[in-house]
Amino acid sequence: PAAVSRRRSPAGARGRGLSGPQVAMRRRVAVLSVLTVVGLGYVLLFTPTLGVRSVEVVGVSGAVADDVRSAADVSRERPMLRVDTDEVAGRVAALPEVADVAVTRSWPSTLTVTVRERVAVAYHVDGVTVSLVDTAATLFKRVDEVPGGLPRFEIADPSPDDPASRAAATVLASLPPELSGRVTAVRAATPGDVRFDLADGSTVRWGDAEQNGIKARVLSVLLTRDGSVYDVASPELPTVS
């Protein structure tokens, strides 16, 4: 056993055989490493070195983009790592025009706010209140007067949770411009019974919100014929009466 101990002792000696200057050097390196990490953290979190220089808004422009920047409410030169992107997104999402929003850091100094804007497909009147209706049947913005170029949404209480409302909004969103511009009102008693009125006083029975592209093409042909009711609920068997 003594001989084994003597054979192992040189390895142990090499592990413990550091000179005083070497130990001191290692300690200095360790201290410097800690100070570097602390200093870097301080720079990132408490100085404007990597602070916000600009807020870039993607997906919208003009007045809406200005509203998004105002709602984001991010102080210039605020350290990027101290910006709570969830809070910023929450403030922007509160804007009536915003459907979805994502906030990301674009290093070294730009905060990027990506927005999907709501698209109005109709308007809804409740008493004296006029509101815009988006593609998901959401009443998202009150307006002072009936907007031109949009049909009236004739569903008593439209909501994204109401299947009939969603079907009507989906149909309106699917219509080609040459057809949507002729629609003056839309209604739906059930999701399978979407109907809308045209500017010439005729009515279209659209049915459900399926095969919208085919129905639009069939309807464009039917509208070349005189009639008061155009039925494309079954596009394979359309009728005019």
What is the distance between the alpha carbons of residues 46 and 159, in angstroms, rounded to a whole number?
46
Q: Are 124 and 234 within one domain?
A: yes
- Would you state the pLDDT for residue 58? 97
Q: Are 125 and 226 within one domain?
A: yes
The pair of three-digit structure tokens given for residue 174, joined into one six-digit string: 């699917």
Q: Are 127 and 231 within one domain?
A: yes
Q: Are 60 and 20 within one domain?
A: no
Q: Are 89 and 156 within one domain?
A: no
Query: Pick from 46, 64, 81: which residue ends a domain?
Result: 46
What is the distance between the alpha carbons of residues 192 and 77, in angstroms, rounded to a whole number?
54
What is the distance between the alpha carbons of residues 133 and 130, in angstroms, rounded to a whole number?
10
Q: Are 141 and 206 within one domain?
A: yes
Q: Are 93 and 187 within one domain?
A: no
Nearest partner of 100 among 150, 140, 55, judged by Cα: 140
What's the mean pLDDT in 197-224? 97
Supply the range of the domain harboring residue 163. 120-240
- Supply angle C-alpha 103, 170, 99, rounded to 5: 15
- 206: helix, strand or coil: strand
What is the distance between the alpha carbons of residues 44 and 38, in angstroms, rounded to a whole number?
10
For 65-101, write each residue's pLDDT tens digit.
999 999 999 998 889 988 999 999 999 999 999 999 9
Query: Pick from 99, 117, 135: which residue ends a domain?
Result: 117
Q: How many domains does the chain have?
A: 3
What's the mean pLDDT in 230-237? 98
Model confidence, pTM: 0.74
Query: Pick from 87, 117, 147: which residue ends a domain?
Result: 117
Residues of the chain with pLDDT > 90, as a percent, come to 75
Q: Are 215 and 103 within one domain?
A: no
Nearest partner of 168 among 144, 142, 191, 138, judged by Cα: 191
Q: Are 30 and 86 within one domain?
A: no
